[in-house]
Amino acid sequence: MLTLVPDAIEDYARTHSATDPPARVWLREATYARMRLPQMLSGPLVGQTLKTLTALSGGRLAVEVGTFTGYASSWIAEGLTASGRLITCDVDSECTALGQEAWNKMGQSEQIELRLGPALETLKDLDEPIDFIFIDADKANYGNYYDLLLPKLRPGGVMVADNVLWSGGVLNPKEPSDHALAAFNEKVAGDDRVEQVILSVRDGLNVIRKKG
């Protein structure tokens, strides 16, 4: 992954932001020990950003597309109201099983609902207004997830898409994922239903607020 800011600045920001509790440290370490692509884990700076935005959005219903090992899920759950809930979607039962173990350790299982299967199918009938959405899944479908979920996002709600700078690949797209993410960023930038800002946190976060 391209370093978007100098390592010393990244370390300073991480040191002066919220830290992981022991159960999430365990999850992070277990992810790196057991998973084939552990670098997919979001990390604490992204996690704290997600928690903060979830809380600011109201935190009653959050949706996550792309659970992986549930690290980001646990941060989002911390930003929910006491009665709030998170619906998280993934197709990989092995990765998500690790997440479920961690959610149990953190007492979050009652607030997190895991839906196994393609998110375009498992979320299509969701008819409750969503406060917060996090997209971190297959890059080719970012535009499709956006089209499906934006109408379900309440006015004033927030959507965040991860990896939108893609190690700089969006600057001169060559690979399919480069093109998909560049097209997604253009799509969002041209949508007058939303306002957005791309943050250079880790691999890029597109923070999108639905107007209204």
Residue 206 phi/psi, 5-degree rounding, is -95, 110
pLDDT tens-digit readout, 89-100? 999 999 999 999
Cα–Cα distance between 145 and 180 in angstroms, integer? 12
Mean pLDDT, residues 149-176: 97
Write down the pLDDT at residue 3.
Answer: 60
CB-CB contact of 113 with 133 (8 Å): no
CB-CB contact of 61 with 85 (8 Å): yes
Q: Is the pLDDT assigned to residue 4 strictly greater than 80?
A: no
**pLDDT band at residue 19 using 50, 70 and 90 as cut-offs:** confident
Mean pLDDT, residues 44-72: 97
End-to-end CA distance of the chain: 36
Q: Would you say the pTM of this structure is higher than 0.75? A: yes
Q: Is the pLDDT assigned to residue 200 strictly greater than 70?
A: yes
Cα–Cα distance between 147 and 25 in angstroms, integer? 35
Mean pLDDT, residues 148-155: 99
Q: Is the pLDDT assigned to residue 5 strictly greater than 90?
A: no
- 3-class SS of residue 152: helix
Write down the pLDDT at residue 95.
Answer: 97
Share of the chain above pLDDT 90, in %: 92
Domains and CATH numbers, the chain: 7-210 (3.40.50.150)
* H-assigned helices in the chain: 7-15, 22-34, 44-56, 71-78, 93-105, 119-122, 142-149, 176-189
DSSP string of 92-124, one letter each residue:
-HHHHHHHHHHHHHTT-TTTEEEEES-HHHHTT
What is the chain's mean pLDDT, rounded?
96
**pLDDT band at residue 18 using 50, 70 and 90 as cut-offs:** confident
Write down the pLDDT at residue 10.
Answer: 87
Amino acid at 96: T
Q: Is the pLDDT assigned to residue 1 strictly greater than 70?
A: no
Write down the pLDDT at residue 6.
Answer: 86
- Element (H or E) spanning 63, and its range? strand 61-65
CB atoms within 10 A of CB 86: 26
Q: Is the pLDDT assigned to residue 2 strictly greater than 70?
A: no
